[in-house]
Amino acid sequence: MTIAVIAVSIYACKEDNSAEIAYEKEQAEIVEEEKILEFGFDINNYIVKRDTIKSGDSFGEIMQRYNIGYPNIFQIAEVTKDTFDIRKLHPGRPFTLLYSKESEKDSLPSPSTFIYQPNQEEYVVIGLKDSIHAYTSKKPITYVEKTATGIIESSISKTLEDKGLSQRLAYKMADEIYAWTIDFRRLQKGDRFKVIYTDKYIDDTIYAGIQNVKAAYFEHNGDSLYAFKFQTDSIKGIVDYFNEDAKNLRRAFLKAPVQFSRISSRYNLKRRIAHYGYRVKAHRGTDFAAPNGTPIMATASGTVTKSSYGSGNGKYVKIRHNATYETQYLHMSRRNVKVGEFVKQGDIIGYVGNTGSSSGNHVCYRFWKNGKEVDPFKQKLPEAMPISDSLKVKYLDYIKPIRQQLDNIFFLEGDPIQPENSITEDTNTDIK
């Protein structure tokens, strides 16, 4: 009987001990969950101060403001120069300072870490104490695939607005996907579309816009127009949209080198100008008026042959696209490419300005065919490069499940956007 009592007591102790261990483990897990991680640091362990770069601020001035002495500033600059150029601090961008909890006891506390965010995704960490070091990293990025449908009542912009969808979808469909097959100014009531696209989120909470459109379907004028995104050149990174028969949906040239602009002066060999006494002064370009600083895009892929300045042209860029076509972009405020660079259609090559012989902010767009300047709007421009025979089979196999996905999306007005899939990109690693 005594032995049995002892055994029961030992067993009870073991039971009690197990419960205690389980409780401690549970409490440890709770503590672990309460960690607030930001930039790879548990913020609970620090005193945190946040600020933004002011106009005229330098790294040295910021450090002195927060009690880092000049000798240390020089050492920090030397040690970190291969990782981050401290001169490249932009006004309005945020920075964070981390202080150790022990620094509260100091009369002039100084931070242990400086964190600068040049953009929404990236951040630079500079350790200011002990072993000075620096590294760049990125916040975790999540891509969420979504689908949407719409039926046109008046315009695609209004349709998207009514459904709470991004206007970026309208731009992508009108200017990137269907620019050469649908005139979006003449959409008809009852036209409808489906789209599969990817939204981008930073840290799971910050919406960073539409990453890309994977596929689309548009019914217009009784035609059914499919579009599938496909990379045709992995080396140059060339991506196009093709239909279900592998036909490229775009032409080799964009309609205009700037978005949301108006033509202020057309190609006209008999133009008379009041400033010159109404004498005939040929205008061999097309002027697109736009605000100063508006991005200028290459209208087609090609190689930059000139990036220079002329008294008449101002700052300008010239691109050779192939043996037949060349384009030129005049009066830039700033050039963004150098001679010899290969640019893709849509790449930003400069910004609208008023340099050279110019009477206002615009870009003069000039177009050569076989060495002769011509009016691009009167040319039968070629289609973009078709898919090669070797890629066509791969493309048709690739789009089969995507087309099935599109076909299985039903036109139901008022339906919420349904996430199809999400992928988190592990970007919280040092970039060496």
Q: Are 297 and 364 in the same domain?
A: yes
Whether 49 and 128 map to the same domain: the answer is yes
DSSP SS3 for 376? helix
Interatomic CA distance for residues 18 and 11, integer angstroms:
10
Tokens of 25: 């483990």
Q: Are residues 161 and 245 in the same domain?
A: yes
**Model pLDDT, residue 25:** 57
**Where among 88, 117, 138 does a domain terminate?**
138
Same domain, 374 and 269: yes
Residues 95 and 132 occupy one common structural domain: yes
Please report, for residues 77, 126, 179, 224, the alpha-carbon distance to residue 183 in angstroms, rounded to integers and kept in the order given. 55, 52, 7, 15
Provide the CATH number for the domain around residue 120: 3.10.450.350
User: What's 293's domain CATH number?
Assistant: 2.70.70.10
According to DSSP, residue 53 is labeled P
- Whether 8 is covered by a domain: the verdict is no
pLDDT 10s digits, 247-258:
988 777 888 898
Query: How far from chain centre, in Å, is Cα 26?
Result: 43
The per-residue pLDDT for 77 is 87
> What are the residues facing 329 on neighbouring strands?
317, 365
Task: Say how far apart CA 352 and CA 291 lie, in whole Å.
Answer: 7
- Judge if 133 and 145 occupy the same domain: no
> How many structural domains are present in the chain?
3
238-242: strand order across its sheet: 238-242, 223-233, 206-220, 192-202, 141-151, 418-425
Boundary residue ending a domain (138, 173, 188): 138
Write down the residue that tokens 């048709």 correspond to.
Answer: 396
Q: Does any domain span residue 257?
A: no
pLDDT of amino acid 26: 55
Same domain for 313 and 406, yes or no, is no
- Inside any domain, residue 19: no
Question: Do the bridges between strand 94-100 and strand 46-52 make them parallel or antiparallel, or are there none, so unpaired?
Answer: antiparallel
In a domain, 329, yes or no: yes
372 and 275 inside one domain: yes
Task: Write down the pLDDT at residue 13.
Answer: 47
* Same structural domain, 392 and 328: no
- Regarding whether 241 and 196 lie in a shared domain, the answer is yes
pLDDT of residue 6: 45
pLDDT at 229 (0 to 100)? 94
How many residues in the chain? 432
Domain boundary pick from 138, 164, 189: 138
72 part of a folded domain: yes
pLDDT recorded at residue 29: 52
Specify if 13 maps to a domain.
Answer: no
User: Tens digit of pLDDT for each residue in 239-248?
Assistant: 889 999 999 8
Strands 46-52, 372-373: pairing is unpaired
Residues of the chain where predicted confidence (pLDDT) is lower than 50: 1-15, 30-31, 33, 414-419, 427-432
Q: Does one domain contain both 103 and 59?
A: yes
Domain that holds residue 108: 38-138
Q: Which is it for strands 348-352 and 295-297: parallel, antiparallel or unpaired?
A: antiparallel
**Cβ atoms of 54 and 91 closer than 8 Å:** yes
Predicted pLDDT at 105:
78
Tell me, what's the pLDDT at 429?
A: 39
Query: Is residue 28 domain-resident?
Result: no
Q: Tell me, yes or no, whether 1 lies in a domain.
A: no
On whether the CB atoms of residues 424 and 141 are closer than 8 A, the answer is: yes
Q: Are 171 and 266 in the same domain? A: no
